[in-house]
Amino acid sequence: MNTITAAITAVGAYVPDFVLSNKVLETMVDTNDEWITSRTGIKERRILKDEDKGTSYLAIMAAKDLLAKANIDPLEIDLLIMATATPDMPVASTGVYVATEIGAINAFSYDLQAACSSFLYGMSTAAAYIQSGRYKKVLLIGADKMSSIVDYTDRSTCIIFGDGAGAVLFEPNYEGLGLQDEYLRSDGVGRDFLKIPAGGSLVPTTFETVKDNRHNIIQDGKTVFKYAVTNMADASELILKRNNLTNDDVDWLVPHQANKRIIDATASRMNLEDSKVLMNIEKYGNTTSATLPLVLNDFESLFKKGDTIIFAAFGGGFTWGSIYLKWAYDKK
Contact 199, 173 (CB under 8 A): no
My answer on whether 47 and 144 are in the same domain is: yes
> 271: alpha, beta or left, given left = phi > 0 and alpha = psi -120 to 50?
left
Q: How far apart are CA 216 and CA 15, in angstroms?
A: 22
My answer on whether 107 and 191 are in the same domain is: no
> 306: alpha, beta or left, given left = phi > 0 and alpha = psi -120 to 50?
left
My answer on whether 70 and 116 are in the same domain is: yes
Average pLDDT, the chain: 97
My answer on whether 196 and 309 are in the same domain is: yes
The pLDDT of residue 60: 99
- Residues 97-113 have a mean pLDDT of 98
In this structure, which amino acid lies at residue 48? L
The catalytic residue positions are: 116, 256, 286
* Count: domains in the chain: 2
Which pTM was predicted? 0.97
Contact 158, 28 (CB under 8 A): yes
My answer on whether 163 and 246 are in the same domain is: no
- Residues 9-19 have a mean pLDDT of 98
| Residue at a domain's end among 177, 208, 226 | 177
CA end-to-end span of the chain = 30
The pLDDT of residue 2: 80
Q: How far apart are CA 152 and CA 282, in angstroms?
A: 19
My answer on whether 186 and 155 are in the same domain is: no
Q: What percent of the chain has pLDDT over 90?
A: 99
The pLDDT of residue 235: 97
Q: Is the pLDDT of residue 1 over 80?
A: no
The pLDDT of residue 293: 98
Contact 56, 97 (CB under 8 A): yes
Q: How far apart are CA 205 and CA 9, in angstroms?
A: 42
- The answer to the question of residue 267 being in a domain is yes
Q: What is the residue range of 33's domain?
A: 5-177
- The answer to the question of residue 91 being in a domain is yes
User: Tens of pLDDT along 31-43?
Assistant: 999 999 999 999 9
- The answer to the question of residue 332 being in a domain is no
- Residues 182-203 have a mean pLDDT of 96
- Residues 227-252 have a mean pLDDT of 97
- The answer to the question of residue 311 being in a domain is yes
My answer on whether 234 and 151 are in the same domain is: no
Q: Is the pLDDT of residue 171 over 70?
A: yes
| Residue at a domain's end among 177, 200, 229 | 177
| Residue at a domain's end among 149, 177, 205 | 177
Residue among 142, 159, 137 at smallest CA distance from 150: 159
Cβ neighbour number for residue 81 with a 10 Å cutoff: 26
The angle subtended at Cα 320 by Cα 319 and Cα 322, nearest 5°, is 155
Check which CATH number belongs to the domain holding 184 and give it: 3.40.47.10
- The answer to the question of residue 52 being in a domain is yes
